[in-house]
Structure 1
Amino acid sequence: MIDPVKPSRRAVLASVAVGTVAPTLKAAETQAEPPHDPRLSLWYDKPAAVWTEALPVGNGRLGAMVFGGIKRERLQLNEDTLWSGGPYHNVNPKGRAAILRVRELIFSGQYAEAEKLADADIRAVPMRMMSYQNAGDLLIDLPRVNETSVSGYKRELDLNTAVCRTSFTSEGIGYVREVISSFPANVIAVSLTATGGPLDADIGLSSGQRGEVTTSGDELTLTGVNNSDFDNPGRLKFQIRTRVVTDGRIEAYGPTLRVRGATYITVYTAIATSYLSPANVSGDPDALTRSHIAAVRATSFETLKSAHITDYRSLFARVALELPEGRGGNRTTASRVENAVGLKDPMLAVLYFQFGRYLLISSSRGTSQPANLQGIWNELNRPPWGSKYTLNINAEMNYWPADPANLSECLEPLVRMVEELSVTGARTARDLYGASGWVTHHNTDLWRASGPIDFMRTGLWPTGGAWLCVQLWDHYDYRRDMAFLRRIYPLMKGAAQFFVETLQTDPKTGMLVTNPSNSPENDHGRGSTLCAGPAMDMQILRDLFDHTIAAATILKTDKAFAAQLKTTRSRLPPDKIGKTGLLQEWQEDWDDTAHDLRHRHVSHLYGLFPSQQINMDETPDLAVAAKKSLDLRGDNATGWGVGWRLNLWAQLRDGERAHTILRNLLSPNLTYPNLFDAHPPFQIDGNFGGVRGIIEMLIQSRAETVHLLPALPKAWPDGRLTGIRLRGDVEADLIWKDGQPERLTLRATRAGQRTVTFGDRTRTVSLTPNAPTILSWS
């Protein structure tokens, strides 16, 4: 028998020391758990039958999908560095010579021939990148439970506390399970309790990786090696270590731990791999899992849970959104999604908004990897698109809400990935293009491969690194942190340097264009997607050059390089409006004859959003052309495609169109019962795009201007949005009533002015550091 123990101060301090920005023991003991708010809970009246009904928990690095089973609980486990293969460089040695000929073919209009040559001599070997992996399952069987005699079943995910809870009664015994993924403690913890009778459980681990399960006392250990992939041998060691704490009896039965006669069982699980960096897999997962488990060995679940909630709420509780109650509050979350289009349920948008913030906190924190195509939740070893980082929209979209939704810390993993890509990308720039600086294409993975992969009609797109740098500048623009700007300036400069050296003179116009490239991932109808100077590339490079010039000016450095960039920027072709009034996607006016006029990508509308080059006030003609293009593309697309459209219509200040698109995004066509975005299949980018879109409907910031309720739909006449971040390091609270702003509160860290607009009304306000500025519109 293992007796329950009270944690010593030393033990608890050890348990939180493994995390970052961990709460103190005093805070964990004194901060009360917030009252339960059913409006911020996903809840269901039956267990998950499939993965997209299970509920996610995560601490940035460790993820689990909780199925809430009755007789068997399944936690499908992920660790963010468990990918297939090992370090590799994916540049075709024939590519550098082939690039020159491909450019000639594209400029001469021989697009199909250019693509054929690129596929033969530029496409990387291996053709595909590595895949994010499923670590395995933690299985908890309850042999005493009779599934035919169950009442009061409920499973829920409380967004206020990041606690997943399952409860039910079977034959007079009340069972409760709680699951957390603790950032301070670096473990996944499961609490099982029973009232009215004994608690028995059989606990085991399984995995689709190459591994073996062993038992020792109160611990289970699964030790293995990751999968090989596309002739890249698996070189990562990994380990899952599970420890059981209980007042019952524990005995080993093969690879399973049996617990009998308990009133409570706590299961702590640590996972680690040998990954140290994109080029180093020499770490010791055994030592890591031992240290993580040792740190919580004498810590009760309640103490761990309290520290977890304190830490989580330090991020989550910053922002609140209130909309009219509607008629969905008493329904299960699955029912609300099923009826999202027909049911007047504005609070479903609130739940979706806060769930998206929860997902970002749970999948991108501290020293974790960035959120990938599925965040950190994936049950397959060959997931769709490898569950990797797609840089022609999806990886960037994952971070659209980070700053405005007041989760700036969650961007740190992305910053580190860009720093790592600047290293591998410098090698790709040299080996493939003969250029300095750095470049990455439309995909990357854990190993930070940066060459063009897949078929060249999608993979030969060189502006992935440039877009990532624009995303980092955006973070600076929100926070105005000089130390951060100094950190990212070399990344921006290196990305810009690559294009200074590789842009080609268009023989028809004399302008500088990318070549080869494509407009992700659309076919212009002339035998290929390959082209020179698609609109998206030019828009991204205008942003990259402008921001790099601005950064150099602010930092008072590289005056000559900034001047060179200004000259190069002046030779980039501008956005164009075609003969049918559409914003052109390509340098040629091909939009009305393109292969897919309703393509899911709206790449040429980057300039409208997330960029601010096109807007209703300063470039109305281009905005009208963008609107016409958006109308032609239609409102239906994949989940992330609809999320992008939501933001675009918000920029066009069409609240009813934006609301229609949001309801479509929330419908069962594009949202699973657990609120995961349906590409389909699941991709997390649609969730994050939806969060940003809701913000953009309610408040927008551009430079020193704040736009209130720019796309407010009639369905949201009254509401409140608090804690949102604006550009220039300003926090805002907004209350509106009867479709009109009632009060705006701005909190700034530095003095300045803001122009605040609502419709055609404009006011200028002065900001005082660390004191609220309140603007009443009544």
Structure 2
Amino acid sequence: MIKKLPVLFLCVTLTFCAKPKEREKQKENLDLQYIEAAEKWTEALPIGNGSLGAMIYGGVAQEHIQFNEETLWRGQPHDYAHEGAGKYLGGIRELLTEGKQLEAQKLAQDHFMSDPIKQIHYQPFGDIYIDFKDHDNFKNYKRELNLNNAVGSVSYTVNDVDYKREVFSSFPDQVIAIHLTASKAKALNFDLWLDAIHEDKSVMTTNDSQTLVVKVKDGVLRGVSTLKIITDGNIENTEGKLQITEASKATVYLTAATNYIDFEDVSGNPEKIVPETLAKVSNTDYEAVKSKHIADYQTLFNRFEISFGDNGKSANPTNQRIYDFWKDPNDPQLVALYVEYARYLTIASSRPGTKPATLQGIWNDQLTPPWFSSYTTNINLEMNYWPVEMYNLSECHEPLFDLIEDLSITGAKVAKAHYNADGWIAHHNVDIWRGAAPVNASHHGIWLGGAGWLSTHIWEHYLFTQDKGFLKERYPLIREAALFYSQYLYKDPQTGYLISSPSNSPEIGGLVAGPTMDHQIIRALFDITIEAAAILGEDTDFAAELKTLIPQIAPNQIGKHGQLQEWLEDKDDPEVHHRHVSHLWGVHPWNEINYEDTPEFMEAAKQSLRFRGDNGTGWSLAWKINFWSRFKDGDHAYELLHKLLSPAEKPDGKVGGGSYSNLFDAHPPFQIDGNFGGASGILEMLIQSQLGKIELLPALPQALPQGSISGVCARGGFELDFTWEDSRLTGVKVLSKAGGKCILVYGDKQMELETEKGGTYSFDGTLQSL
């Protein structure tokens, strides 16, 4: 039985403010730092503004900066729906009911998959090269990425001259800026040029600029990128390179654009956009451009701060810190840095008006990237956005909502063509052309959870912000997804339950009828549709219909091994140690399975997780960290965090899961979801709010006995600051952004108060009013 916590009703002193104040104190020094240049892409340092991203190698004799623009993809506007596929739905279901899985998979592969069968690749754009003459003998080398101001830098000394360059990607000016300086007049000499690995490319050089034009293979998109240099030295056009001599400083501005407008329109004019963008900064002082960039970035970044004290804090280079943490995980500030780095990567890869972060954010250096560097919706895309509301970057969630809006259009066609249903659906992979049909192969491509899972993000944004205007605007997306599932659910002739068929439990078990994950997602979607409709005062009849369907959906079941069943049948194998634990979706990211309402299912879910084991890489480890945090076992969660923060490249040269030296997540290869999922898991150790109350330090590991966090957000529209010492809460402050009831829980204490919008409330470590 769950112990009922005593409720304390307190009168508190409150103050009001119109909006959350920007944090006035200077965030502690947050940077990734190295004493060597990068040799590999996964050692380079990322910058980005949501649409323009780059990787800085930091070489001395030659600098290499590889860059991306988010809309450069292969392919062209087209519809992935397979007309006539719906004729085969009944046959596939019948074969699955009869236990003829292989026959069902073949029928689906032949007649039910997308047209074409494969989706399209995200592409690299180009490369900036800078050659420095006679810089082979150097000292005092330092390479950094400053998370406080989103500026990368390289510095070193040659012949008593100090050289430095700064690189950043500006959101307000939409340029990548490179600023080079020398401490001695006329000592800065270098060659500068653009290149690309695309087969179809051209470069044109003028007096102070160079333009790269690329065209993708197997597609209609072309990209234009121009760099312009401003310097106090001399500039010459020499054999297709810009040669700068006798300078003390130089600034390079680069921007890029494509002809992509949206998934249906490729009539854009990058030849016009690029020069217009550069013209806005060409006559602006570098320091002014930099100041505007920093002010814009810090408006987002400075809202939040996390620290785990000075215990074990290391001044070593970041790559050494990762290695040291692997040997002895006594660098709690590396854990804090990991969270702040995830926030940096969110800001760099997902800003309002841009596209969502892909499997690799906006960074990619390959024409055929891993997993196409696309949007995988059976966990990876959603994981990219798990921490975004918690760590106070709500605006950065917006690109995902825009993608959902697009998918509601393409997914409606797929719903009709494949399932003879209204509403919209998305399967396990999506690209820039918003393909929503099942791709690749039937045994894993026919997964039906995409629309439901993505729709929960709309609801989560509402829960954190309490923004009814947003909910009203986006509610039709939730409703239409629920409409699809209400028509898609199929009465299983063997059990009598409504089930999802055909589908699969991602990556394991093949095409099946009735995977547990689907049913959890559909129940969650129906629940939030009902609640949203009530809040908005509409759709009464549809909400009533969904209420009647929910109890008919196949429920969670406990199997013969004490496990949460992954399928309708009790066929889980305890010896299968797979990276996907999809049937625990109801534990995290959702809350259907919890200790208060369904303790028996929590224990069954924990048993399933034990069977799957602690091994894993990248996003799989990250998800397991979140699971163990929800299970209130912080020490177990920290063990997995130790694995996530271990070096991907071991001393024997082997590459496995963990973190590359630039803290990119190694699946391997690089997938950014592990960075975001890992950050989410760390925050889940410290604060949870999924059950209508705010639990403080619910899964605090022994390894993090002291710390502070400020600007962290909870559902209900609350923002919190709190501290702890010796593993005990010492104080908490709550800002109520929307007003309403706030329930705080710490240990065996529970406090409930009615808040007013804009009010702040402070308590000590026993939740007594200050």
Q: Which residue of 2 aligns with 1:299?
A: 284
Q: Does 1:290 align with 2:275?
A: yes
Q: Which residue of 2 aligns with 1:612?
A: 591
Aligned partners of 1:32 and 1:574: how far apart in 2?
46
Match of 2:155 among 155, 159, 167: 167
Q: Which residue of 1 aligns with 2:567?
A: 586
Aligned partners of 1:266 and 1:424: how far apart in 2?
44
Q: Which residue of 2 aligns with 1:22?
A: none
Q: Which residue of 2 aligns with 1:242?
A: 227
1:568 CA displacement: 1.6
Q: Which moved more, 1:671-680 or 1:751-760?
A: 751-760
Q: Does 1:319 align with 2:304?
A: yes
Q: Which residue of 1 aligns with 2:652?
A: none
CA contact 1:460–1:518 (8 Å) conserved in 2: yes
Aligned partners of 1:771 and 1:701: how far apart in 2?
19
Q: Does 1:112 align with 2:98?
A: no
Q: Does 1:635 align with 2:606?
A: no
Q: Which residue of 2 aligns with 1:394?
A: 380
CA deviation profile, 1:327-353 (whole Å, cap 9, x unmatched): 352111001111223231111101111
1:95 CA displacement: 2.1
Q: Which residue of 1 aligns with 2:171?
A: 183
1:751 CA displacement: 2.9
Aligned partners of 1:37 and 1:569: how far apart in 2?
49
CA deviation profile, 1:574-618 (whole Å, cap 9, x unmatched): 11100110001001101127xx71110110000000001111222
1:301 CA displacement: 1.5
Q: How does 1:201-600 map to 2 (within 5 A)?
A: 201-209=190-198, 210-228=200-218, 234-343=219-328, 344-523=330-509, 529-592=510-573, 597-600=576-579
1:473 CA displacement: 0.8
CA deviation profile, 1:668-715 (whole Å, cap 9, x unmatched): 131000000001000000000011111100111134311111111111
1:625 counterpart letter in structure 2: A
Q: Does 1:748 align with 2:729?
A: no
2:582 counterpart letter in structure 1: S
Aligned partners of 1:351 and 1:637: how far apart in 2?
22
Aligned partners of 2:314 and 2:285: how far apart in 1?
34
Match of 1:713 among 665, 680, 701: 701
CA deviation profile, 1:80-124 (whole Å, cap 9, x unmatched): 001111112123335222222111101111111111111122222
Q: Which residue of 1 aligns with 2:712?
A: 724
Aligned partners of 1:98 and 1:293: how far apart in 2?
54
Aligned partners of 1:768 and 1:433: how far apart in 2?
48
Q: Which residue of 2 aligns with 1:677?
A: 665
Instruction: Provide structure 1 residue ranges, at least 5 long, that are not aligned to the other structure.
Output: 1-30, 229-233, 524-528
1:592 counterpart letter in structure 2: D
Aligned partners of 1:35 and 1:430: how far apart in 2?
55
Q: Which residue of 2 aligns with 1:734?
A: 722
Match of 2:50 among 46, 49, 60: 60
2:34 counterpart letter in structure 1: Y
2:579 counterpart letter in structure 1: R
Q: Does 1:693 align with 2:674?
A: no
Q: Which residue of 2 aligns with 1:121?
A: 111
1:263 counterpart letter in structure 2: S
CA contact 1:756–1:763 (8 Å) conserved in 2: yes
CA deviation profile, 1:249-304 (whole Å, cap 9, x unmatched): 11112321111111111000000000111010000011111111001011122111
Q: Does 1:137 align with 2:116?
A: no
CA contact 2:591–2:691 (8 Å) conserved in 1: no
Q: Which residue of 1 aligns with 2:623?
A: 644
2:503 counterpart letter in structure 1: S
2:138 counterpart letter in structure 1: V
1:413 CA displacement: 0.5
Q: Does 1:75 align with 2:68?
A: no
CA contact 2:23–2:303 (8 Å) conserved in 1: no
Residues 32 and 495 (structure 1), Cα distance of their counterparts in 2 relative to 1, 3 Å cut: closer
Aligned partners of 1:363 and 1:36: how far apart in 2?
22
Q: Which moved more, 1:425-434 or 1:48-57?
A: 425-434
| Structure 1 SS opposite 2:381 | helix
| Structure 2 SS opposite 1:189 | strand
Residues 470 and 36 (structure 1), Cα distance of their counterparts in 2 relative to 1, 3 Å cut: closer
Aligned partners of 2:435 and 2:120: how far apart in 1?
9
Aligned partners of 1:649 and 1:320: how far apart in 2?
24
1:32 CA displacement: 14
Q: Which residue of 2 aligns with 1:661?
A: 640
| Structure 2 SS opposite 1:622 | helix
CA contact 1:33–1:306 (8 Å) conserved in 2: no
CA contact 2:125–2:214 (8 Å) conserved in 1: no
| Structure 1 SS opposite 2:665 | coil
Aligned partners of 1:36 and 1:724: how far apart in 2?
15
1:96 counterpart letter in structure 2: G
1:34 CA displacement: 9.2
Aligned partners of 1:562 and 1:94: how far apart in 2?
31
1:558 counterpart letter in structure 2: D
Q: Which moved more, 1:90-99 or 1:349-358?
A: 90-99
1:709 counterpart letter in structure 2: L
Aligned partners of 1:121 and 1:32: how far apart in 2?
57
Q: Which moved more, 1:300-309 or 1:702-711?
A: 702-711
Aligned partners of 2:383 and 2:708: how far apart in 1?
25
1:37 CA displacement: 4.3
Aligned partners of 1:688 and 1:561: how far apart in 2?
36
Count of matched residue positions in the alignment of Structure 1 and Structure 2: 733
| Structure 1 SS opposite 2:560 | coil
Q: TM-score, normalised by structure 2?
A: 0.93
2:348 counterpart letter in structure 1: S
Aligned partners of 2:754 and 2:726: how far apart in 1?
27
Aligned partners of 2:224 and 2:134: how far apart in 1?
30
| Structure 2 SS opposite 1:422 | helix
1:142 CA displacement: 1.1
Q: Which residue of 1 aligns with 2:85?
A: 95
Q: Which residue of 2 aligns with 1:49?
A: 39
CA contact 1:144–1:200 (8 Å) conserved in 2: no
* Fraction of identical pairs, as percent: 44
1:456 CA displacement: 1.2
CA deviation profile, 1:484-529 (whole Å, cap 9, x unmatched): 1011111011111111111110011111111110001112xxxxx1
2:272 counterpart letter in structure 1: A
Aligned partners of 1:744 and 1:328: how far apart in 2?
25
Residues 35 and 138 (structure 1), Cα distance of their counterparts in 2 relative to 1, 3 Å cut: farther
CA contact 2:466–2:738 (8 Å) conserved in 1: no
Q: TM-score, normalised by structure 1?
A: 0.92
